[in-house]
Chains A and B, each alone.
Chain A
């Protein structure tokens, strides 16, 4: 089944499920993306920039509490007018009543392509830089001309893939290990930052962040693993040796452009059982339903740390476990090659 032709509804039909919250979140995300594109088009961005959105909009998981994490991505010569454009985007989103990004400063401003491409690893690769870079790869969508956005993603992938070719293997499609290591590093960074925020903010909002860490952030990590593993020639097919590097780059790019939930569903559809599908997408559907319910969302947000008897928290904790078990079953029990790659590259 071709990834571009696949829809989550096909998996839902096969598993005898409907997953209404997932479908609604996808539809709402598409509507908001269209609206935001119209807003940004009014600003007439120059050809060397792209207005890029991250988060729930890019994941196609828009719920009532969603904000718009955005950046003005600059890929060209420095120009003082870029600052004006970033402010114009900010004002336009405010005028249209969109929630502003969180307070970390990672989003809601401009970012340049050079740091994203050249500062991978090493002392200059800050927490903010790796966050922007990995989310650009795994969880971003263009709100303006997609060309500068895609150009930067490809330049980053070029660093990972063509900048770090295998030392001995013949040219073929393979798991890009440099990229995989960075994705694993980012997932662990998110987990550590969760603990840091919990400490710094005296547990405020911890339960909601905990649920997001164990569901949407974990889904993103799963997408990152799949983006790498599905580049293996068993899944991606054989390449022309003369263009194998570029074929790998293009294949990895195509996978990166697929929303996480869509890529996970496609993988489950092709390689896993209906039971795995029900476990993963049933739990995720209920998670999104909770996020889309203002009362429940606020309840989680305000929950005191240590409220072990809270019914909603315990309900969410069970969803977290179901989702984790579904991922375990997919990566370790569903497909021989996927299990091999997970063991070979995902653990040691």
Chain B
């Protein structure tokens, strides 16, 4: 059960990091594009 939770936690962490990255890109896109 603990292993299951760890695996689900890691899976969710990956997905959330992906979402956080694209959010950060959207926020900084104008700045990055025009550097």
A and B: bona fide binding partners: no
Interface positions of B (Cβ within 8 A of A): none
Question: Which A residues are closer than 8 A to B by beta carbons?
Answer: none
